[in-house]
Structure 1
């Protein structure tokens, strides 16, 4: 069975402010570790009023402080936005505060628009040095060498595990070359999922961090008591994607009865393509959907986004998802015995 993990968008909704979104993320992580989820990630997004995780390392500290065992991390940090030493200092500090629980996923995209890139005082060309920046970051987490003049205090020796994130084949090549785990963002860019996984596995070179490939697949899952209710709840995410295509940075919106009255045919076409890997439905629909995805991709881990407006219903979605996998594992064990 593939391990289950969570990517939380820390959504600010029409009736929940940023503090509420941050506390909801913390609450979800506390529940998730009880349900057996392996890790809980948040991502760096800038200039988006509906997402409260721009200061990603600070958000991770808030979430980790409210949980005990689940791994917490970034999915991811957009490294071209930062000097590697600064990220090493931040995540080295997190690793000292929460030993053995911090992950650092790294992306090459800016995670925002070009105006915001300018506000971050970074040049678009910063992405060109992404491989070198990953290696520099990795060196800061290693034990300090004799005569090393620049250290990322207190990162040296923490060996924070790095992940390469990707929505194309570029990250697959790099993760394979560096011998790092690879997470593919098929929850919003599914087109190159299978080619990227094939490249990653076929070209993988063992490293000190990882001796064999470890592939994570991102997927949107909305679970509810019935298929009909799940489809209703999923309209929140569908509206968010339509808004993204319109360039409208809005707060998360409550579900609606008919998504067809909200988006245009062109928006529907584009959004449906981006959401093509989504799994929406009751427990049985979710169980079969996850099984089909793992059978097709051979994923070692599934990173789940469950973008539901109401926090209680979102908790229930993740509880249903976890229960389906537990039941599947028990069924498999009974069959084998």
Structure 2
């Protein structure tokens, strides 16, 4: 990727494979592959998919399967998880799944890991059944998983080996929205991705903790920070603000515990939310970058300068697929990425 005017920050994509009102998961997966192919041409660095469950507006619950679908339909862009919620799974199963993906698509697979359930507690129980894992043993699960890929670490105490998986060099990232994963990533010398797109008020604290606790490893010599950011770009500020109401409605429904597909834009959010809900959304979505090409460029450069992020992962929950494509294209044009 070519440098943009202020430095070497790279740009990537987080896709939730949104299911829109009146749409189907099949349509979402077609849109996902179409978007991946386009952003590959526009110079984006990696394309990640997120694990969520029991959410009628997100189709990427079987994350590893969708990663394989995207990797098969692209040729150069890195593809991975943003992330796999490790406590929902056996570390061995994840090692085998991602060992399979890396064997099929060598040098292109990332494994981003989180410790949250990616869902509500009832669904977490349905996923985990008798497992006692509630995320508190995430460091131990991580050690076991890493040991399946690299037996020399000595962290796999099971006596079981992962085929495929063993001996493969699959980058492992820790994902977080608080300080826990930031500190763990720093101590282990792993790359760290923070969810600024829904936890903006904790961004600087988490980055600082990661960088202060970072210890060089055979994976990384120095800290590497990627930040998730909601970006909705359009030809004008007015159009972008209109498109952003789909994202706002999504979070409003989450606050109200009302699960629904992604809603079309509305002219006036004031008719939908209370003052309390509006303030709550402002806290959650405060780092969102919404506007015309020049507005987006200015805000992105300011955000990068403030955080000194090595990479920005862009999330664009836009109802209309063509406008979603255009939003990512605008960012590529503004950041002078190779096309």
Residue correspondence of structure 1 range 153-302 to structure 2 within 5 A = 153-302=163-312
Task: Please give the root-mean-square deviation of Cα atoms over the aligned residues, in Å.
Answer: 1.7
Post-superposition CA distance 1:100-127 (Å, at most 9, x none)? 0100111011111010011113556431
Post-superposition CA distance 1:278-333 (Å, at most 9, x none)? 00001100101110000000000001101100110000000001110007x9xxxx
What is the alpha-carbon distance in structure 2 between the residues aligned to residue 124 and residue 298 of structure 1?
Answer: 39
Alignment-derived partner of residue 333 in structure 1: none
Contact 1:230 1:282 in 2 (8 A): yes
User: Once the 2 structures are TM-superposed, how far is the Cα of residue 16 of structure 1 from its aligned partner?
Assistant: 2.0
Residue number among 318, 334, 339 corresponding to 1:324 in the alignment: 334
What is the alpha-carbon distance in structure 1 between the residues aligned to residue 90 and residue 105 of structure 2?
Answer: 23
Post-superposition CA distance 1:5-40 (Å, at most 9, x none)? 000110001132101101111110100111010000
Number of positions where the alignment pairs a residue of Structure 1 with one of Structure 2: 328
Contact 1:117 1:124 in 2 (8 A): no
What is the alpha-carbon distance in structure 2 between the residues aligned to residue 322 and residue 291 of structure 1?
Answer: 13
Residue number among 313, 316, 322 corresponding to 1:312 in the alignment: 322
Contact 1:239 1:253 in 2 (8 A): yes
Residue number among 72, 90, 98 corresponding to 1:91 in the alignment: 98
Contact 2:177 2:202 in 1 (8 A): yes
Alignment-derived partner of residue 140 in structure 2: 132
What is the alpha-carbon distance in structure 1 between the residues aligned to residue 104 and residue 51 of structure 2?
Answer: 21
What is the alpha-carbon distance in structure 2 between the residues aligned to residue 287 and residue 180 of structure 1?
Answer: 29
Alignment-derived partner of residue 23 in structure 1: 30
What is the alpha-carbon distance in structure 1 between the residues aligned to residue 46 and residue 322 of structure 2?
Answer: 20
Call closer, same or farther: CA 1:143–1:125 in 2, change over 3 Å: closer
Normalised TM-score (structure 1): 0.94
What is the alpha-carbon distance in structure 2 between the residues aligned to residue 209 and residue 269 of structure 1?
Answer: 41
Contact 1:144 1:151 in 2 (8 A): no
Contact 1:184 1:216 in 2 (8 A): yes
Give 5+ residue unaligned stretches, structure 2: 1-6
Alignment-derived partner of residue 75 in structure 1: 82
Alignment-derived partner of residue 335 in structure 1: none
Alignment-derived partner of residue 48 in structure 2: 41
Alignment-derived partner of residue 19 in structure 2: 12
Alignment-derived partner of residue 120 in structure 2: 113
Structure 1 runs (4+) deviating above 6 angstroms are: none
Post-superposition CA distance 1:227-276 (Å, at most 9, x none)? 00000000000000000001111001110111111112221111111000
Give 3-state SS (helix, strand or coil) of 2:196's partner: coil
Contact 2:11 2:314 in 1 (8 A): yes
Deviates more, 1:190-199 or 1:135-144: 135-144
Deviates more, 1:120-129 or 1:289-298: 120-129
Normalised TM-score (structure 2): 0.94
Deviates more, 1:123-132 or 1:150-159: 123-132
